[in-house]
Chain A
Amino acid sequence: MSGASLPTAAPAPVPAPATKRAAFPARALRWTRRLPLSGKVGLAFVLFWLVIALIGPLLAPYPIGAFVDENVFSPASRTFLLGSDYLGRDVLSRLLHAARYTVGLGAGAALLACTVGTGLALVAAVGRGWVDELLSRFMDTVISIPSKILALVMVAAFGSSLWLLLLIAGLTYVPGNYRIARALAVNLNQMDFVSVARARGERRAYIALSEILPNMLHPLLADFGLRFVFIVLLLSALSFLGLGVQPPQADLGSLVRENISGIAEGAPAILMPALAIATLTVSVNLLIDALPHRGRN
């Protein structure tokens, strides 16, 4: 099909002088319009949560720790849009604060996982045989430890301050990203354009960063999204078990945990934070899936 999409079969059709690429907003709009419906929904929620993570606390109607309701687990009402929690605090306000932890930790840890994983993958791909052998052996070992188990062992050993959680969640998903990135990089490393660069006398660093890496960005972006989803689920699970973000700080998983006793009443205090996590992870997943794939029709 690729042949059919190129109207350039003639020997040398002189293209019109490259029209200046459209300005960013116009391009972004066109890109968005091409997404399938599921992708548009995903994009909308992803943007929504990014905004909440940035300015959420400013929107909170009540201070985060204030006991504002006489009742606990009250249902949604005009005064408390998402009801109140097990101590009579405003769920919406707590949620707006907690989202920041969930999104921030998730994005930070995913970035850490992808940077370390891809960096090591590039080293393995262009490095000498034994470097690849050693790294891959190590990653294969770590990947054989189920991610939740690995995270639990690390939490037990190191504790769970915010920075440690970021580090633990990031490191847990390094091997997964390494595996994907290494497969991509090793494939690209065998391409003729890399052979040409090597025969030109280029250094390994140039080959890794200028020849190989640019061609990995697209799939890596998708992998970043996937790691983000995994990490958000992992951290929420840890918090839900009481092993993640510790009070007085709270992420969305902590909110579910502290309100678990509201389950019998079907309180919004337990459902809303859980739903919030779900909309975040599901929408990221939908968006990644809708991204245009290069090379696939």
Chain B
Amino acid sequence: MSDPATAPDTPHVPPHVPPHVTVTNLRIAARGPDGQDIVIVDDVSFAIPKGEVLALIGESGSGKTTIALSLLGHVRPGAAITGGSITVGDAAIRSLTPAALRDLRGNRIAYVAQSAASAFNPSRTLMDQVVEPALIHDLLPRPAAEAKAVELFRALGLPKPDTIGQRYPHQLSGGQLQRLMAAMALITDPELVILDEPTTALDVTTQIGVLQAFRAVVRDRGTTAVYVSHDLAVVAQMADHIVVLNRGRVRETGRVHQILQSPRDDYTKTLMAAAHPVVEAAQDKPRTAPVPLLQIEGLTAGYGRVDAQGRPAVPVLRDIGLTLHRGEILGVIGESGSGKSTLARVIAGLLPPARGRISLDGAPLAPGLDGRSRDDFRRVQIVFQNADVALNPAHSVGQILKRPLAFYHGLTGAAADARVAELLERIQLPRTLADRPCTDLSGGQKQRVNLARALAAGPDLILCDEVTSALDTVVGAAILDLLADLRRELGIAMVFISHDISTVRAICDDILVLYSGDVVDQGPRAAFGSPPHHPYTDLLIRSVPEMRPGWLPEGLGAPALPPIDPLAGDADLCRFLPRCNVRVAGLCDRIAPPRHDLAAGNAILCHLEEGPLAVAQRAEALV
């Protein structure tokens, strides 16, 4: 607690009302591998008035989940609460017996886990699991508990609330499971709910509906809640109070608007700055080379047997076309399963396409690895999302960087050492790191080495597959800066794949939107600034939470979509149709959509013309 003035006084509670939850000087430590204690939560204090929502916000390693779990009297194996006190209502959590704790958990205090897909038992029905808290605490007989669960399913906007409970976790989507988990938490009408990053694993377009549902049910019941998140914008929608954590310590505590509008702590400011990446964009200089560096035409790829028409059994990408000039960055955006990573693998030759052409500098590139020359390989480098698995743990940083030097340039010995030192400097890492095994590095350092390995080849094109997604916001922002530098100073072109449209808009010259394997929207960055867009792009842009309270619309999810005929499952119809809010019955559900240009310079795959799209999307923006 460096600044006592900002500390525990913050929740502006009248002095005569005791807070519902009080945490005072909490300390939690873990036993390290060498037997020494590592402090993970250090002297943390906060209080929550009844019926309000407090957010614990911080990056990985901030201790936010550890604190949240301690409210249930739970610590993960290897850790222990070493000091402080936790009170929830009249219960002093630390002094309870195991039996008394069990009585509290899932009854008065409920927990919603980060990844519902793994937090549900795969071999029992969802109804079984949802009603279990009510049954084991003897709160309701089974039929009553099931009826209540169905009511909750309905309140949370789940489809087919009467029968969804009979299904197993693997049969539902992540967003649905997350709602079911909320139903499981609320079945006992708890006084305190702990939501542990409940939407982090979801796609941004799914997240918005889940957030709305959570907020509605928590508010309706007057439940006190703790919301754990790394995302300030999400927290702005959900919470009344914010506690900013960093490495187990409280940096700042306050009401939401105070923190968002006038953060006092430097760390909070860094966090907020990183949430809005501002990257020095490239100057709009005229394209000099007439031949694009990378050109893709009519590319179809997937897995399984390829039929006579060149369609694979499990198609992932359909009829993709794109153009990338030297020194430019093309952003590829889409949700999980859209095929964006597959695109990178196809360009790199790891997955030969079923159909279509890829050319590099006007010369055709062999579809798979087999036909490519060593120079082809050198010119196209790929950088994967997760540096933990992209660097061979058996090799040192130096070995990793020297291999491409030897392989492509025949560089060995002192010359290679010198080049490794240069590369490390280039990516702003100390040259002494060369002798270290790559397992010793932090996440951000690993991602830099990952990039340096691609640079070592001396490439023309780097395929960046979600390179910042696995990193904390602040570290990721630094990597983005580095990428922009590399492009500016070395003139390397990049395909930048991401699920985050604000990152893509910050760094890319051109943007390509993938939906379920189709390019639905494609054009210069400027065209993505204001409507009209493709309906999916529009949804994507609208779904990115903004860092102001009140951004999240009231109500339960999106309004009803225009009715259409039941779909026959025609492979050529618009794939976004089931989710589209401007679809036209009799047209969209009958005929495959055409690709046409909009005035701002982007091409979309949609039946609707500029005018109607613009009208519909302006209207939404006003809501």
Q: Counting CB contacts under 8 A, is B109 at the interface?
A: no
Q: Counting CB contacts under 8 A, is B374 at the interface?
A: yes
Distance of A38 from chain B, by nearest CB (Å): 18
Q: Which residues of A contact B378 (CB under 8 A)?
A: 201
Whole-angstrom CA separation of A242 from B543 in the bound complex: 77
Assess the B30–A1 pair: CB atoms within 8 A: yes
Q: Which residues of B contact A195 (CB under 8 A)?
A: 345, 348, 350, 382, 384
Nearest B residue to A7, CB-CB:
B38
Q: Which residues of A contact B457 (CB under 8 A)?
A: 200
Q: Counting CB contacts under 8 A, is A77 at the interface?
A: no
Whole-angstrom CA separation of A272 from B455 in the bound complex: 65
Q: Which residues of B contact A14 (CB under 8 A)?
A: 430, 432
Assess the B442–A198 pair: CB atoms within 8 A: no
Interface centre among B30, B403, B440, B453 (most CB of A within 10 A): B403
Q: Counting CB contacts under 8 A, is B201 at the interface?
A: no
Assess the A200–B40 pair: CB atoms within 8 A: no
Q: Which residues of A contact B442 (CB under 8 A)?
A: 6, 8-10
Assess the A201–B372 pair: CB atoms within 8 A: yes
Distance of A137 from chain B, by nearest CB (Å): 21
Q: Which residues of A contact B377 (CB under 8 A)?
A: 199-201
- With A11-B475, A215-B393 known as contacts, the answer to whether A199 contacts B382 (CB < 8 A) is yes
Nearest A residue to B465, CB-CB:
A192
Whole-angstrom CA separation of A6 from B33 in the bound complex: 10
Q: Counting CB contacts under 8 A, is A4 at the interface?
A: yes
Q: Counting CB contacts under 8 A, is B445 at the interface?
A: yes
Q: Counting CB contacts under 8 A, is A3 at the interface?
A: yes
Assess the B432–A18 pair: CB atoms within 8 A: yes
Q: Counting CB contacts under 8 A, is B429 at the interface?
A: yes
Q: Which residues of B contact A12 (CB under 8 A)?
A: 428-430, 444-445
Distance of B16 from chain A, by nearest CB (Å): 41
Assess the B440–A199 pair: CB atoms within 8 A: no
Q: Counting CB contacts under 8 A, is B506 at the interface?
A: no
Q: Which residues of A contact B350 (CB under 8 A)?
A: 195, 198-199
- With A11-B475, A18-B432 known as contacts, the answer to whether A214 contacts B394 (CB < 8 A) is yes
Nearest B residue to A202, CB-CB:
B407
Assess the A193–B444 pair: CB atoms within 8 A: no
Which residues of chain A from 7 to 24 have any CB-CB distance to chain B below 8 Å in the complex?
8-12, 14-15, 17-18
Contact among A10, A18, A192 for B389, CB-based, below 8 A: A192
Whole-angstrom CA separation of A1 from B378 in the bound complex: 38
Whole-angstrom CA separation of A211 from B445 in the bound complex: 21
Q: Which residues of B contact A6 (CB under 8 A)?
A: 440, 442
Interface size on B (CB < 8 Å)? 51
Distance of B399 from chain A, by nearest CB (Å): 9
Q: Which residues of A contact B453 (CB under 8 A)?
A: 196
Q: Counting CB contacts under 8 A, is B32 at the interface?
A: yes
Assess the B247–A9 pair: CB atoms within 8 A: yes
Whole-angstrom CA separation of A129 from B97 in the bound complex: 57
Which residues of chain A from 107 to 134 have any CB-CB distance to chain B below 8 Å in the complex?
none
Q: Counting CB contacts under 8 A, is A66 at the interface?
A: no
Whole-angstrom CA separation of A9 from B472 in the bound complex: 11
Q: Counting CB contacts under 8 A, is A241 at the interface?
A: no
Q: Which residues of A contact B374 (CB under 8 A)?
A: 201
Q: Counting CB contacts under 8 A, is B190 at the interface?
A: no
Nearest A residue to B391, CB-CB:
A193
Q: How large is the interface on A (under 10, 10 to 19, 20 to 34, 35 or more residues)?
A: 20 to 34
Whole-angstrom CA separation of A215 from B438 in the bound complex: 13
Q: Counting CB contacts under 8 A, is A249 at the interface?
A: no
Q: Counting CB contacts under 8 A, is B223 at the interface?
A: no
Q: Counting CB contacts under 8 A, is A141 at the interface?
A: no
Whole-angstrom CA separation of A191 from B381 in the bound complex: 16
Contact among B78, B247, B385, B389 for A193, CB-based, below 8 A: B389
Contact among B61, B345, B432 for A15, CB-based, below 8 A: B432
Q: Which residues of A contact B436 (CB under 8 A)?
A: 15, 18
Assess the B441–A196 pair: CB atoms within 8 A: no
- With A1-B78, A8-B441 known as contacts, the answer to whether A201 contacts B407 (CB < 8 A) is yes
Q: Which residues of B contact A215 (CB under 8 A)?
A: 392-394
Whole-angstrom CA separation of A9 from B384 in the bound complex: 21
Assess the B60–A3 pair: CB atoms within 8 A: yes
Q: Counting CB contacts under 8 A, is B523 at the interface?
A: no
Whole-angstrom CA separation of A11 from B378 in the bound complex: 30
Assess the A199–B369 pair: CB atoms within 8 A: yes
Q: Which residues of B contact A144 (CB under 8 A)?
A: none
Distance of B593 from chain A, by nearest CB (Å): 34
Q: Which residues of B contact A192 (CB under 8 A)?
A: 384-386, 389-390
Distance of B99 from chain A, by nearest CB (Å): 28
Nearest B residue to A17, CB-CB:
B432
Nearest B residue to A21, CB-CB:
B435
Q: Which residues of A contact B331 (CB under 8 A)?
A: none
Whole-angstrom CA separation of A199 from B404 in the bound complex: 11
Whole-angstrom CA separation of A206 from B83 in the bound complex: 53
Q: Counting CB contacts under 8 A, is B556 at the interface?
A: no
Nearest A residue to B348, CB-CB:
A199
Assess the A200–B445 pair: CB atoms within 8 A: no
Q: Counting CB contacts under 8 A, is B49 at the interface?
A: no
Distance of A31 from chain B, by nearest CB (Å): 14
Q: Which residues of A contact B382 (CB under 8 A)?
A: 195-196, 199
Q: Counting CB contacts under 8 A, is B433 at the interface?
A: yes
Distance of B72 from chain A, by nearest CB (Å): 20
Q: Which residues of A contact B40 (CB under 8 A)?
A: 4
Assess the A8–B389 pair: CB atoms within 8 A: no
Whole-angstrom CA separation of A185 from B430 in the bound complex: 33
Q: Counting CB contacts under 8 A, is B302 at the interface?
A: no
- With A8-B440, A14-B430, A14-B432 known as contacts, the answer to whether A196 contacts B349 (CB < 8 A) is no
Whole-angstrom CA separation of A5 from B31 in the bound complex: 10
Q: Which residues of B contact A1 (CB under 8 A)?
A: 30, 78
Q: Counting CB contacts under 8 A, is B421 at the interface?
A: no
Q: Counting CB contacts under 8 A, is B478 at the interface?
A: yes
Nearest B residue to A218, CB-CB:
B394
Q: Which residues of B contact A4 (CB under 8 A)?
A: 30, 32, 38, 40, 61
**Apart from A12-B444, A201-B378: 5 A-B pairs, beta carbons within 8 A:** A4-B40, A8-B440, A17-B432, A199-B350, A199-B382
User: Which A residues form the contact surface with B (CB < 8 A)?
Assistant: 1, 3-6, 8-12, 14-15, 17-18, 191-193, 195-196, 198-202, 211, 214-215, 297
The 10 A-B pairs at the shortest CB distance, nearest first, are namely A201-B377, A214-B394, A192-B390, A192-B384, A199-B348, A8-B442, A193-B392, A18-B435, A14-B430, A192-B389
Please list 13 pairs of residues, one from A and one from B, whose beta carbons are closer than 8 Å in the complex, sorted by A's number.
Answer: A1-B30, A5-B33, A9-B247, A11-B478, A17-B432, A191-B389, A192-B385, A193-B390, A195-B348, A201-B369, A202-B407, A215-B392, A215-B393
User: Which B residues form the contact surface with A (CB < 8 A)?
Assistant: 30, 32-33, 38, 40, 60-61, 78, 247, 345, 348-350, 369, 372, 374, 376-378, 380-382, 384-386, 389-395, 403-404, 407, 428-430, 432-433, 435-436, 440-442, 444-445, 453, 457, 475, 478
